[in-house]
A and B are shown apart, each in its own frame.
Chain A
Amino acid sequence: MLAVEGLAAQYGRAQILEGVTLGVEEGEVVVLLGRNGAGKSTTMKAIMGLVRPSAGRVRFRGQEIAGREPFEIARLGLGYVPEDRRIFGELTVLENLEVGRRPAPPGMTPWTPERLFALFPSLAEMRRRPGARMSGGEQQMLTIARTLMGNPRMILLDEPSEGLAPVVVERMAETIGALKREGLSILLSEQNLHFAGVVADRATIIEKGRIRWSGTMPALRAAPEVREQYLSV
């Protein structure tokens, strides 16, 4: 589905990514782990075209997308949920969802606001509330729902559990499971290992802009030294 090879990126002269290589198969959930400042968000932004990669290749469903515009990448079926949520504050919940709406590819049941409200019931109670007037956690749900409205085949989820109540994180884990069963591939960045352990198939660890370790979740569980070295757990 997604194959990233030797991806490099910089802000000004500061080299942030120095050759990130990772892959996500169809219907798979891969978690990108790393301390803060390791480059998780930058990796996602570079894949999405929001930061221009300075080197490397990104293939999504067989097409080279490195260096393309974000909107083109999104139209190929790659959704992005940023860590800072970026809700349209003056638009209502329904309007936020409308901005994300794109036609579904053939064979996919399109997401509708109603289906999403079933997934995130607290949003259903505030359809006409402007985004700026929602609590942090409510915004987090809205931003995921908004991306799903684009009927993506794969989504990049940047720290989705951040700032959510434990019950909601549990629901989020179930949601991710449900999305996965629908055939969606997911690349997720996380610091919450418990959460990652519940939802992910494979893990990739990034540190100072390089991939240091990759393997299945059971393998990570069996490797405390890796967790200690890169994740300070």
Chain B
Amino acid sequence: MRWYGRCARRVEGLENIALQALSGLASASSLFLVASGLTVIFGVSRIVNFAHGSFYMLGAYIAWSLVTRLPRGDFGFWGGVLAAVLIVGLLGAAVEVLLLRRIYRAPELFQLLATFGVVLVVQDATLALWGAQDLLGPRAPGLRGSVEILGLRFPRYELFLIAVGPVVLGLLLLLFHRTRWGTLVRAATLDRDMVGALGVNQRWLFTSIFFLGSLLAGLGGALQLPRESVNLHMDLSIITEAFVVVVVGGLGSLAGAALAALLIGELHAFGILIFPKITLVLVFLVMAVVLVIRPYGLLGRRPAGLIAPGPAEPVIRPAPLALRRLGLAALGLAVILPPFAGDYALSVLTEMAIMVLFAASLHLIMGPGGMASFGHAAYFGLGAYGAALAVKWLALPMLPALALAPFAAGLAGLVFGAFCVRLSGVYAAMLTLAFAQIAWSAAFQWVEVTGGDNGILGVWPDAWAAPKLAYYYLTLALCLGGTLFLRRVIHAPFGYALRAQRDSPLRAEAIGIDSFVVRFAAFALAAAMAGIAGGLFAFAKGSVFPTFLGISRSVDALLMVLLGGVQTLAGPIVGALAFTGLHEQLVRLTDYWRLGLGLIILALVLFFPQGLAGAARARWEARHGDA
């Protein structure tokens, strides 16, 4: 709640609109601070930094602690804010030095996993240090009250915030385009090793970039103090929005980020007035529209090429005999043991089987396809809703309802995929997220059909599959079949064509491969497979909820694939088992499960930078040859 909102009682129409616009500008300014840091970090390091929102939150918390402890007055307030901002900058630099620096050479997007580990750790650390209750900061000395312009009263602090954005933008532009440091940073963005070979210590370059980026996030957070309460949800709410701003503006473009922040800020201010029904997705709708019209954002440019290619992806070979034996043994256990397991264990096993297929379907587009998806849960959820709606509205029995799941999800995959696969890299990933959010809000807000937040209950299996054990075997058969089919596809010409367009779009096109068609078909196939997983999940739980399509489930899928290793076929399987098992156990054991999970993720990232299965393969190759 904005403070002036509390004090302003009855405002006239015109004043209301002006104030609303002003508040939009102030939000835009704060959003720009955070987004500019994110875009700077991404532009240079190509790291999708989920932890950026955590630095924003820490900026606010640390500033609160300092400002409330230091003597009141100008020095206390501004000194506290400044110190908090510097501390956050240093924390960002420390994360780079201790964590990210060690994994720059890991496969693309792997660093995302590491930054997500940081998010989890910071969340619980913040909870432990500052507690769960919202904190209110003091107002800024010297900027209390409001000024009168043209007969309208404007809060001073909002005006101050509005001024901060453009000033920071100007300074950053100068820094990047007029200083040697800026030139070096831009060069390092394109080819790190070459910059090193020219005598530049590129490590410090990267550390300084993280310092700068985190500092901007911290500044954004600290300056919120007089405006909003400080709470534990600040990190995730700002990070999605900052990503949207960065992508809508065009990755790496500061001016673009400013423009997009303006757009999103005002959208928030007026969206509630104009489209109260769809406020939740307004932002994502705008992003989808922008990306469909301008695939590189408002001011982004198509990369000019000549970005140093990373090391080539490894060759995919048929699994060695030992691995096949191991797989068979695991399968044997999965078939033989469950009759002796209890209900809880059975439901965990069922969930694991489902997650294996879910992760494997994401892996098809992420690994061989080379397209990241931040919204894969959409297809999982649509499969689940497809099946549940068939039961509820068509009164279908379980099997026909289940058969509908891949079609519902696959259809969505065809429609969304047609737009997503035209884009590349993070743009494509963010567009998948946008579509997932749109699907989620449909499930959430179209109450008449979906039951909204209450979900759809009573989606139970038919009598023959009602016992947990029977349902487990059904799930195992379908998920295993689906996963093996995906494996087969990867070894078949279609899977090769998919990898071909990832490895070299130029060469693929030159030998007659239509990259768009191949990516599109793979996207739809992956969606359909996720749909099967979702349908099975619906019957396993007996109900469906909007969270099935939520961001956090999409993130789970990403984590599973990355944890296991994108570059191996066994990766998603191992990752899904490890992640589901860990998550399940930690939640049972401790309230601080985020901390535990985060630390485990960080440890895995540091010690197995190719994912679990990737590390196992590296070991195997080191011992048995086959380079």
| Interface residues in chain A, defined as those with a beta carbon under 8 Å from any beta carbon in chain B | 12-14, 48, 50, 69-71, 74-75, 80, 82, 86-91, 95-96, 98-102, 130-133, 146-147, 150
Instruction: Tell me if B552 is interfacial: C-beta within 8 Å of chain A.
Output: no
Sample (13) of A-B pairs whose CB atoms are under 8 Å apart: A69-B201, A71-B201, A71-B202, A74-B196, A74-B197, A88-B186, A88-B191, A88-B194, A89-B307, A130-B304, A132-B305, A133-B304, A147-B198
Contact of B183 among A99, A102, A132 (CB under 8 A): A99
Which chain B residues (185-243) contact chain A, with CB distance < 8 Å? Answer: 186-187, 190-191, 193-202
Q: Decide: B198 and A99 in contact? CB cutoff 8 A.
A: yes
Given the interface contacts A13-B627, A86-B194, does A71 sit within 8 Å of B199 by beta carbon? yes
Instruction: Tell me if B184 is interfacial: C-beta within 8 Å of chain A.
Output: yes
Measured CB to CB, the closest approach of chain B to A97, in angstroms, equals 10
Measured CB to CB, the closest approach of chain B to A147, in angstroms, equals 7
Chain A contacts for B621, CB-based, 8 A = 12-13
Given the interface contacts A71-B202, A90-B304, A100-B198, does A50 sit within 8 Å of B625 by beta carbon? no
Instruction: Tell me if B306 is interfacial: C-beta within 8 Å of chain A.
Output: yes
Q: Decide: B305 and A48 in contact? CB cutoff 8 A.
A: no
Measured CB to CB, the closest approach of chain A to B180, in angstroms, equals 7
Chain A contacts for B8, CB-based, 8 A = none
Given the interface contacts A12-B627, A13-B622, A13-B627, does A89 sit within 8 Å of B305 by beta carbon? yes
Chain B contacts for A100, CB-based, 8 A = 198-199
Instruction: Give Cα distance in the complex from A150 to B186, angstroms.
Output: 18
Q: Decide: A99 and B184 in contact? CB cutoff 8 A.
A: yes
Closest to A13 in B: B627
Measured CB to CB, the closest approach of chain B to A41, in angstroms, equals 13
Other contacts beyond A13-B625, A71-B196: 5, CB < 8 A: A14-B627, A75-B199, A88-B194, A88-B306, A99-B184
Measured CB to CB, the closest approach of chain B to A149, in angstroms, equals 8
Closest to A152 in B: B199
Instruction: Give Cα distance in the complex from A125 to B627, angstroms.
Output: 47
Instruction: Tell me if B308 is interfacial: C-beta within 8 Å of chain A.
Output: yes
Q: Decide: B194 and A69 in contact? CB cutoff 8 A.
A: no
Chain B contacts for A132, CB-based, 8 A = 304-306
Closest to B204 in A: A71
Measured CB to CB, the closest approach of chain B to A220, in angstroms, equals 30
Contact of B197 among A14, A70, A88, A133 (CB under 8 A): A70
Measured CB to CB, the closest approach of chain B to A82, in angstroms, equals 7
Closest to A74 in B: B199
Instruction: Give Cα distance in the complex from A131 to B190, angstroms.
Output: 11
Q: Decide: A91 and B305 in contact? CB cutoff 8 A.
A: no
Instruction: Give Cα distance in the complex from A70 to B187, angstroms.
Output: 16
Q: Decide: A82 and B197 in contact? CB cutoff 8 A.
A: yes
Chain A contacts for B184, CB-based, 8 A = 99
Chain B contacts for A147, CB-based, 8 A = 198
Contact of B193 among A12, A50, A91 (CB under 8 A): A50
**Contact size range, B:** 20 to 34
Q: Decide: A150 and B306 in contact? CB cutoff 8 A.
A: no
Chain A contacts for B194, CB-based, 8 A = 82, 86, 88
Given the interface contacts A74-B198, A74-B199, does A91 sit within 8 Å of B183 by beta carbon? yes
Measured CB to CB, the closest approach of chain A to B624, in angstroms, equals 10
Closest to B186 in A: A91
Q: Decide: A90 and B197 in contact? CB cutoff 8 A.
A: no
Chain A contacts for B190, CB-based, 8 A = 88-91
Instruction: Give Cα distance in the complex from A3 to B592, angstroms.
Output: 58
Instruction: Give Cα distance in the complex from A24 to B59, angstroms.
Output: 55
Which of the listed residues B187, B196, B197 has the most CB atoms from chain A within 10 Å of its own CB? B197
Instruction: Give Cα distance in the complex from A133 to B190, angstroms.
Output: 15
Which of the listed residues A95, A98, A99 has the most CB atoms from chain B within 10 Å of its own CB? A99
Measured CB to CB, the closest approach of chain B to A175, in angstroms, equals 19
Instruction: Give Cα distance in the complex from A119 to B183, angstroms.
Output: 24
Instruction: Give Cα distance in the complex from A50 to B184, angstroms.
Output: 19
What are the 10 A-B residue pairs with the smallest beta carbon separation, nearest first?
Answer: A89-B306, A74-B199, A132-B304, A70-B196, A99-B187, A86-B194, A88-B187, A132-B306, A71-B196, A88-B190
Closest to B303 in A: A90
Closest to B199 in A: A74
Measured CB to CB, the closest approach of chain B to A111, in angstroms, equals 13
Q: Decide: B304 and A70 in contact? CB cutoff 8 A.
A: no
Contact of A150 among B199, B625, B627 (CB under 8 A): B199
Instruction: Give Cα distance in the complex from A141 to B190, angstroms.
Output: 19
Measured CB to CB, the closest approach of chain A to B489, in angstroms, equals 28
Contact of B187 among A48, A71, A95, A102 (CB under 8 A): A95
Q: Decide: B197 and A50 in contact? CB cutoff 8 A.
A: yes
Chain B contacts for A86, CB-based, 8 A = 191, 194, 308
Measured CB to CB, the closest approach of chain B to A100, in angstroms, equals 5
Contact of A131 among B195, B306, B308, B625 (CB under 8 A): B306
Closest to B301 in A: A90
Instruction: Give Cα distance in the complex from A153 to B38, angstroms.
Output: 40
Closest to B305 in A: A132
Chain B contacts for A133, CB-based, 8 A = 304
Chain A contacts for B186, CB-based, 8 A = 88, 90-91, 95
Closest to A131 in B: B306
Instruction: Give Cα distance in the complex from A187 to B193, angstroms.
Output: 20
Instruction: Give Cα distance in the complex from A193 to B190, angstroms.
Output: 34
Q: Decide: B306 and A70 in contact? CB cutoff 8 A.
A: no
Closest to A98 in B: B183
Q: Decide: A71 and B306 in contact? CB cutoff 8 A.
A: no
Closest to B184 in A: A99
Chain A contacts for B307, CB-based, 8 A = 89
Q: Decide: B195 and A99 in contact? CB cutoff 8 A.
A: yes
Chain B contacts for A88, CB-based, 8 A = 186-187, 190-191, 194, 306
Instruction: Give Cα distance in the complex from A48 to B196, angstroms.
Output: 10
Chain A contacts for B202, CB-based, 8 A = 71
Instruction: Give Cα distance in the complex from A80 to B194, angstroms.
Output: 9
Closest to A48 in B: B197
Chain A contacts for B199, CB-based, 8 A = 71, 74-75, 100, 102, 150
Instruction: Give Cα distance in the complex from A132 to B190, angstroms.
Output: 11
Chain B contacts for A99, CB-based, 8 A = 183-184, 187, 195, 198, 200
Chain A contacts for B306, CB-based, 8 A = 87-90, 131-132
Which of the listed residues B198, B308, B627 has the most CB atoms from chain A within 10 Å of its own CB? B198
Measured CB to CB, the closest approach of chain A to B104, in angstroms, equals 14
Measured CB to CB, the closest approach of chain A to B299, in angstroms, equals 15
Instruction: Give Cα distance in the complex from A101 to B202, angstroms.
Output: 15
Measured CB to CB, the closest approach of chain A to B23, in angstroms, equals 37
Chain A contacts for B196, CB-based, 8 A = 50, 69-71, 74
Which of the listed residues B200, B303, B621 has the most CB atoms from chain A within 10 Å of its own CB? B200
Chain B contacts for A12, CB-based, 8 A = 621, 627
Which chain B residues (577-627) contact chain A, with CB distance < 8 Å? Answer: 621-622, 625, 627
